[in-house]
Copies of this chain bind each other. A is one copy, B any other.
């Protein structure tokens, strides 16, 4: 059951499928999540959007797989799991910047890890793709946190779209929620838990009384930490998301460096115990209005008190009032939900 009612209009009986080509840059957890979801949903996209969606290039750090007829994703995923991507029959040494120049896709998925100092290599990939008339859908926070309005201008002047739902809150629809459900509203404030790793750590510390080191190790074992866990712990990841939300939903023109950030490094089990005595928990909160990231006391019965690796974002709007959305802020498959939301909105 695939939401027939919504899509019935788009089923053009007997119509020829439109070819849409994707380039995937970065084939880590998120890139592979996209490939897995596309494998499963290809028929759904054909039926409901009249589109034959093929991946024609997958770029990794040391080379790429290129097949203009559509890469066999099942085989590619199998090789990637075995860390044998180079054995793929279409593997070549061409790297992302050259692929962007030489291989014409309709949509480029920029899914490389965030480097908050330089924004690279994502920033270069996104700019060059937009300039070459390709839409970009990204989960990479750093380029948008650093150069939001510049990137939007490049997209606009090249008449293509730059979509970034996956940069904030993983599977949580926050950008598209504002765009398609809260149109009449002025957004008055946004704050919330924007990082699953720190929430997981703080929850573990509160529930099991363990130290941060023990909780962090567990977070790494279950695979929810970012490439550099320091980005999570020090609040960098949350800060990047605050910058993106400020630009995209509150019309501020700010960059990552404008966000005042305090991480959770100094939160002790004693502090958490003390919070508990006051019927509160400690959560790392990103506050968009104040351009601030800091650990805060949250009452236990507050909607932002969500446990484990969940994210929770509270939006105050002038007409709808408070709306809180809670869900999985990370995970390759979950994040693919947001990436496909952007891809499909481009296809419409």
Binds B, one of A70-78, A98-106, A337-345: A337-345
Contact B171 A323 (CB under 8 A): yes
Pair B324/A326 contact, Cβ less than 8 Å: yes
Could you give, for residues 139-167 of chain A, a 1 whenever the CB lies within 8 Å of some chain B CB and a 0 otherwise? 00000000000001000000000000100
Q: Would you call A328 an interface residue if the criterion is a C-beta within 8 Å of the partner chain's C-beta atoms?
A: yes
Q: At the interface, yes or no: A173 with Cβ under 8 Å from chain B?
A: yes
Q: How far is the CB of A66 from chain B (nearest CB, A)?
A: 25
Indicate the member of A41, A321, A337 with the most B CB atoms within 10 Å.
A337
- Are B3 and A181 neighbours in the complex by a CB distance under 8 Å? no
Chain B residues whose C-beta falls within 8 Å of the C-beta of A45 in the assembled complex: 184
Task: State the oligomeric state as a number of copies.
Answer: 2
B182, A321: Cβ atoms closer than 8 Å: no
Specify which chain B residues have a CB less than 8 angstroms from the CB of A344 in the assembled complex. Answer: 183-184
Q: Give the shortest distance, in Å, between A9 (CB) and chain B (any CB).
A: 8
Q: Is the CB of A2 within 8 A of B186?
A: yes
The answer to whether A303 has its CB under 8 Å from any CB of chain B is yes
User: What residues of chain B lie closer than 8 Å to A307, measured between beta carbons?
Assistant: 301
| Contact, CB under 8 Å: B179 / A1 | no
Complex: A338 Cα to B321 Cα, angstroms? 12
26 of the cross-chain contacts (CB-CB < 8 Å) are: A2-B186, A2-B251, A3-B185, A3-B186, A5-B247, A5-B248, A6-B178, A37-B319, A165-B181, A173-B177, A173-B180, A173-B323, A180-B181, A182-B341, A183-B340, A183-B341, A184-B336, A319-B333, A319-B334, A320-B328, A321-B328, A321-B331, A321-B333, A323-B326, A324-B326, A325-B325
